[in-house]
């Protein structure tokens, strides 16, 4: 969520009451939003707050378009450090930044990687994709697989392929 701290607090509390295990806040919203979300999550011991760093569809050029004149990986790491200081349990970033994030955040941080596709698939909207296996090998704790499954003629077979890629 990218909202004012009060709204972030309410949304996190509502998610916690529903039994949600992870919520996302936008790190670009700043420390106040992330800290408010983390504080609200304390009432729900299983709820983890993840900070979205740079969406996987963005390139360094896209960042420059909005006034962020550093490479995408540098921005991801900067926002991850900000999220850690705010108390977030982890971050969301592309598979391509997973190794650098693991080194920066340590073994306990959650690193969730959308933009995961199987070898030979098109990356669709993802400018910084990776395979499930590469993401995990680089340090991701979770992979998000979307179109590989949702657009497959046989979604069950697609899930099996993803699992095989993870353990291969």
What domains are there in the chain, each with its CATH number?
53-167 (3.20.20.70)
Closest CA to 96 of 117, 67, 79, 81: 117
In whole angstroms, give the CA distance from residue 19 to residue 26.
Answer: 21
For every residue of 41-98, DSSP letters joined together read: HTTSTT-EEEEE-S-TT--HHHHHHTT--S-HHHHHHHHHHHHHHHT-SEEE--GGGH
* pTM as predicted: 0.91
The pLDDT score that the predictor gives to residue 10 is 97
The pLDDT score that the predictor gives to residue 123 is 63
User: Digits of tens for pLDDT over the chain (168 positions)?
Assistant: 678 899 999 999 999 999 999 999 999 999 999 999 999 999 999 999 999 999 988 889 999 999 999 999 999 999 999 999 999 999 999 999 999 999 999 999 999 999 888 877 776 777 787 889 999 999 999 999 988 888 889 999 999 999 998 876
């Amino acid at each position: 969520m990218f909202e004012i701290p009060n709204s972030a607090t309410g949304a996190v509390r509502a998610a916690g009451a529903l039994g949600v295990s992870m919520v996302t806040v936008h790190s670009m919203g700043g420390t106040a939003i992330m800290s408010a979300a983390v504080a609200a999550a304390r009432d729900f011991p299983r709820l983890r707050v993840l900070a979205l760093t740079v969406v996987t569809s963005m390139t360094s050029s896209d960042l420059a378009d909005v006034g962020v004149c550093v490479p995408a990986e540098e921005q991801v790491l900067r926002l991850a450090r900000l999220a850690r200081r705010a108390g977030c349990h982890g971050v969301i970033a592309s598979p391509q930044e997973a190794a650098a994030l693991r080194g920066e955040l340590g073994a306990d941080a959650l690193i969730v990687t959308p933009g995961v596709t199987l070898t030979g698939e098109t990356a669709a909207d993802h400018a910084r994709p990776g395979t499930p296996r590469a993401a995990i090998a680089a340090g991701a704790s979770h992979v998000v697989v979307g179109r590989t499954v949702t657009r497959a003629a046989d979604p069950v077979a697609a899930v099996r392929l993803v699992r095989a890629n993870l353990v291969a």
